[in-house]
Amino acid sequence: MAIVTAEQAQQLDELGYVVLPGYMSAALLAEVRRELARLFALEGDAAGSEFRQEPGSARLANLVDKGEVFQRIVADPTVLSLVSHVLAGDYKLSSLNARSANPHNGSSQPLHADMGAIPDARGNWVCNTVWMIDDFTRANGAIRVVPGSHRFGRLPQDALPEPTAGHPDEVVVTAPAGTVVVMNAHCWHGGTENRTDHARCALHSFYVRRDQPQQQYQKKLLRSETQAALPPALRHLLAIDDPLNDAVTAGNESRSGFLK
């Protein structure tokens, strides 16, 4: 497992997120772009239907089942070390999705916490990662986040008169393609409007504490041949052989919340 630096730990604890500029190699970024283009073309109007489809955006879901490169993404050791810091070493994959904000998609997401989650007596239980497949700019739908809001103990829809409006403390996270952001998903955050002529795509590898339901039930969604080929570490990460996960996830897959 990679080491979390003191600076990264402080940023996760105080701000709720850390930015890894240029984290993806050029080869990995090109490989992911090819695979996403292939899948969007292959799935057409059905893209994202295993989870949810969204007006103004194109989505893909269940990506661990759709290419070996996506298995490498969810198991990246440096990113998992940061996720482990947020979730106190007790985590599993919840979902891996792609979201591509359409050109001129017309609206921003409201500020939200993923899965409508507030930290409980045990602490944090949601952590999201954003793999920037395109540049994130102020014009093309970059993510906004309210630093420190993971410690507010409230959801924005309960605390704000209008969660879609700008927040005085929000930061718009802009960075070049290949950057990865690890975010305590209790933070108030949301995708912004894409006002450009080009799509803005990202992968979202989302993790939850092991006692909480997966957003997408990996054991149910992954084909049997995919499951059979998974090494033990990935089976554990996806909770394939975990009776607790079966108990808490079955019947709870509608707890989607928002994911960018």
3-class secondary structure for 60-114?
ECCHHHHCHHHHHHHCCHHHHHHHHHHCCCCEEEEEEEEEEECCCCCCCCCCECH
Mean pLDDT of 56-81: 96
Residue 187 CA to residue 112 CA, distance in Å, equals 8
Q: State pTM to two decimals.
A: 0.95
Region label for 176, one of left (φ > 0), alpha (ψ between -120 and 50) or beta (otherwise): beta
Q: How far is CA 142 from the centre of its chain?
A: 14
How many beta carbons lie within 10 A of that of residue 251, not counting itself?
A: 9
Residue 238 CA to residue 208 CA, distance in Å, equals 11
Percent of the chain past pLDDT 70, that is, above it, reads 96
* Domains of the chain, residue spans: 6-249
Mean pLDDT of 82-90: 97
pLDDT at res. 259? 47
Closest CA to 106 of 174, 167, 198, 195: 195
Q: What band does 141 get if pLDDT is binned at 50, 70 and 90?
A: very high
User: Is the predicted pLDDT of residue 225 greater than 90, yes or no?
Assistant: yes
User: Is the predicted pLDDT of residue 252 greater than 80, yes or no?
Assistant: no
pLDDT at res. 1? 67
CATH 2.60.120.620 fits 6-249, yes or no: yes
Region label for 247, one of left (φ > 0), alpha (ψ between -120 and 50) or beta (otherwise): alpha
Residue 49 CA to residue 47 CA, distance in Å, equals 6
- Residue 223 exposed, middle or buried by CB count within 10 Å (0-12, 13-18, 19+): exposed
Mean pLDDT of 163-188: 97
Phi and psi (nearest 5°) for 219? -60, -35
Average model confidence (pLDDT) for the chain?
A: 94
Residue 187 CA to residue 183 CA, distance in Å, equals 8
User: Is the predicted pLDDT of residue 233 greater than 80, yes or no?
Assistant: yes
User: Is the predicted pLDDT of residue 255 greater than 80, yes or no?
Assistant: no
Q: What band does 258 get if pLDDT is binned at 50, 70 and 90?
A: very low
User: Do the beta carbons of residue 103 and residue 195 sit within 8 Å?
Assistant: no
User: Is the predicted pLDDT of residue 30 greater than 80, yes or no?
Assistant: yes
pLDDT at res. 2? 81
Mean pLDDT of 143-155: 97
User: Is the predicted pLDDT of residue 127 greater than 70, yes or no?
Assistant: yes
User: Is the predicted pLDDT of residue 254 greater than 50, yes or no?
Assistant: no
pLDDT at res. 253? 54
